[in-house]
Chains A and B, each alone.
Chain A
Amino acid sequence: MHSRLRCSSSTQNATANCQQETALRSSCFRGKQNSEKQQPPAARIGSTSVGRSFTSRGLAGAWHVGKNLRQAQGYASESGNSKQEEEAEAREVMEYDVVIVGAGPAGLAAAIRLKQLCQEKGTELSVCVLEKASEVGAHILSGNVFEPRALNELIPDWKEQNAPLWVPVTKDKFWLLSEKHAFPVPSPFKNQGNFVISLSELVRWLGTKAEELGVEIYPGFAASEVLYEGARVVGVATNDMGIAKSGSRKPNFQRGIELKGRLTLLAEGCRGSLSETVIKKFQLREEAGAQHQTYAIGLKEVWEVEEHKHHPGYVLHTVGWPLNFSTYGGSFLYHMDNQQVAIGLVVALDYKNPYMNPYEEYQRFKQHPSIRPLLEGGKVVQYGARTLNEGGLQSIPRTVFPGGALIGCTAGFVNVPKIKGSHTAMKTGILAAEAAHEALSSMENPNMDAYWEALQHSWVWQELYSVRNIRPFFHHGLLPGLVHAGLDHYVIRGRLPYTLAHGPPDHECTEAAEKHKPIQYPKPDGVITFDLLTSLYRSSTNHEHDQPPHLHLVDKHVPETINLPKFAAPESRYCPARVYEYIANEDNKLQLNINAQNCLHCKACDIKDPKQNIKWTVPEGGGGPGYTIM
């Protein structure tokens, strides 16, 4: 282990870089939450925050639910430290050969492969994995029908090592739903050889394997800042802990730590907060001629169903109802073991109707006559939500930057027609590890260019290439999309000479509210369908309530002047955690209230806000959902 502790003033370099950025939405995103008492930006000397303004309101939150979700109290101002204060408070530094942000399938696969290579080649590399969740797997949510292709490469004897792949797929069904009926259609999936799993469980297992090999995994630590030396990424820093909502320091204040790596791998999952800043800073999409990323949101519950209704290995997907013909999405229903069933709905975020509420659509879906009977008599075990990337090949940025690389969903490798991304995420982790090991053993200034090369020659690229036109064609509607998908899948197999482009970015697709009618969603029955706050309680989400809210508004006026009047407050509808609410203040005017404590870390707001006014930053480590079998 090559880590040493010493103090440094590398924050100074980061500061200097920050101030060179010209864009208002600076890509050198500091995300720091320590601050002095609130001051208007102009009054600060040597301020490091670039033009962001926040506001403090003394609004009391207007909801109560369960004993674990405490009352929110409006949101407080965040201002950067004065330069003097920052320099006085230099952070401790820990040094590693490789720093990985995110203990998910990609991050852990990379860590494991690095240590395996060290064993094979007799080298020694120190590897550190930072995870913002309180434990490995707690922020992992996925369908999941798992293709073991990458796992077979990484740990060939996973079965002997008791990997939690207990349930092979036995039945593969596909239905087209109308409001009252279900029409079976030949399943386009080839799921033989795949397993119905809980990805959180698999990730926990990967975590123990990584630790056995000597990887240092630190859950409860949120990487909030990318560290630069010149134009090179040299590591990350965790955020300060113990800051009160007002911005002052609490008695248990702890300064963040800098983790310097000779190489840094960002494996934050879809729409990673640090990855987004790095992609912007190094223009990684432009470099690769890539389009913007497109996204969907997935809502999921795990139910314990009555025994006679449970068929382990049964896999069902549906399209159609409750989504209309111009909204892309569909449902999944997978029978796991332990009498448990994973059931969820995926809704693409390029929907036009601002009144769309993905959570309510999911509740509606469960009431379908062919779905409801399965759930009757059952109990919900967990609930959660997460966005996923749908851009496929067209949206993959250059995955390498000076000093590091992007792996997994944070770059975006989901095979949308197959609805699988875990296997590709793991493979990119493996490829990155192989390139990193080579670079660290042979280069003075290691770079990851070999990873970008290897990626483009790997089966990940081939797979994504062959399905690249299926999702984009759905811009023409559900039926044309299905027809084209059938053709492309069975006949053409991706061998068209062109590549279709995506439509506009998701946040630009939302149309003005006046063009649409509000959707009347049915009331929850408390048996099969539930109100959002009841579901939220089942996600075990929690944050230290006395901390500055981690959701930042670039312009504090935009919610009341644009989101509410023009778009009817879409954030109050697409957020699966009721973070955003408009509440009447003393003058009877509606004002945005942010219940940051509810956040599920799904990133939907960062993606779908029409003016991109909401920026998701990472809260104090250890907070967020507590998924265990999602």
Chain B
Amino acid sequence: MKIMVAVKRVIDYAVKIRVKPDKSGVETANVKMSMNPFCEIALEEALRLREAGHASEVLVVSMGGAQCSDTLRTALAMGADRAIHVSTSHSLFPLTVAKLLQALATSEKPNILLLGKQAIDDDANQAGQMVAGLLQWPQGTFASKVQMDKEAVGSVTVEREVDGGLETVKLQLPAVITTDLRLNQPRYATLPNIMKAKKKTITQITPEQLGVQITSDLEILEVFEPPKRKAGVIVASVDELLDKLKNEAHVI
């Protein structure tokens, strides 16, 4: 069985981000980037499934400019078998990502497509759900536990974190699973594995070769920092409070 994992290169979670002076986006020049934490968790889950004998190959994919190869090398160093880099300089929005993943899934035919639930730069939480829709595959999102049974071949049980608590679903394969924080703790890439990863292959492919045209219905108009919080005001009486709510805040 083959597992495909999609990973994204984002600004490292510990970095203090800044908005570019021209407000077109967040400053990424001279800023530390790393693999999206949820994608790391997805990759770790794929590796565990392979180590438990449920899968024979873990394929990792990423999309974007040349530096994606850094992220893919890290993934290979963690233990993925091979990598595919969809090379493009366009900015990618979730629907485009989903279409590219659909094309890759159609040609690679994985049994499970694992993704992080969302990327920490856009917090979109859409790509996994969209690609499941495009592929017409069942989806188990916000997974906090993934179980495969040697007996129940052809299906996977996913425990999901939902607003009301935990929901367990059984999905027929092939399926899309997006991972949440409590699923696992990703392993460290060891030095020998980093060295071995240098010899593993990263296949380069373009969106044209996949037959996907990169268009977008979305355009980022402006990015700005949230306004600074104003200091609060202590009121002396309930009347004063009502007066301020009515005449200053206009909420009653």
Point out residues on A near B: beta carbons under 8 Å. 3, 5, 66, 68, 92, 94, 134-135, 138, 201, 216, 218, 220-221, 238, 241-242, 250-252, 254, 257, 259, 304, 379, 381, 537-538, 540-542, 626, 628-629
Contacts and interface: CB of A to CB of B under 8 A. Distances in A.
Contacts of A201: 30
B194 interface: yes
A221 B185 contact: no
A241 B191 CA distance: 12
Given A92-B192, A238-B191, A257-B192, A540 B186 contact: no
B185 A252 contact: yes
A68 B15 CA distance: 8
A257 B191 contact: yes
Contacts of B16: 66, 68, 537-538, 540
A381 B12 contact: no
Contacts of A138: 32
B206 interface: no
Contacts of A5: 192
Given A68-B16, A252-B187, A540-B12, 7 more contacts: A3-B195, A5-B192, A92-B192, A241-B188, A540-B14, A626-B32, A628-B32
A239 to B, nearest CB: 11
Of B16, B190, B191, which is in contact with the most chain A CB atoms at under 10 Å from its CB? B191
Contacts of A94: 191-192, 195
A314 to B, nearest CB: 21
Contacts of A134: 12, 32, 34
B18 A251 contact: no
B183 to A, nearest CB: 12
A216 B185 CA distance: 28
B209 to A, nearest CB: 29
Interface residues of B, number: 22
B224 interface: no
Contacts of A242: 187-188
B223 to A, nearest CB: 15
A626 B187 CA distance: 21
Contact of A540 (B21, B32, B188, B194): B32
30 contacts: A3-B195, A66-B16, A68-B13, A68-B14, A68-B16, A92-B190, A94-B191, A94-B192, A94-B195, A135-B32, A138-B32, A216-B195, A218-B191, A238-B191, A241-B188, A242-B187, A251-B185, A252-B186, A252-B188, A254-B188, A257-B190, A257-B191, A257-B192, A381-B18, A540-B12, A540-B15, A540-B16, A541-B14, A626-B14, A628-B31
A221 B191 contact: yes
B187 A254 contact: yes
Given A257-B190, A381-B18, A540-B14, A251 B30 contact: no
Of B18, B188, B190, which is in contact with the most chain A CB atoms at under 10 Å from its CB? B188
B47 to A, nearest CB: 11
A94 to B, nearest CB: 6
A216 B195 CA distance: 9
B184 interface: yes
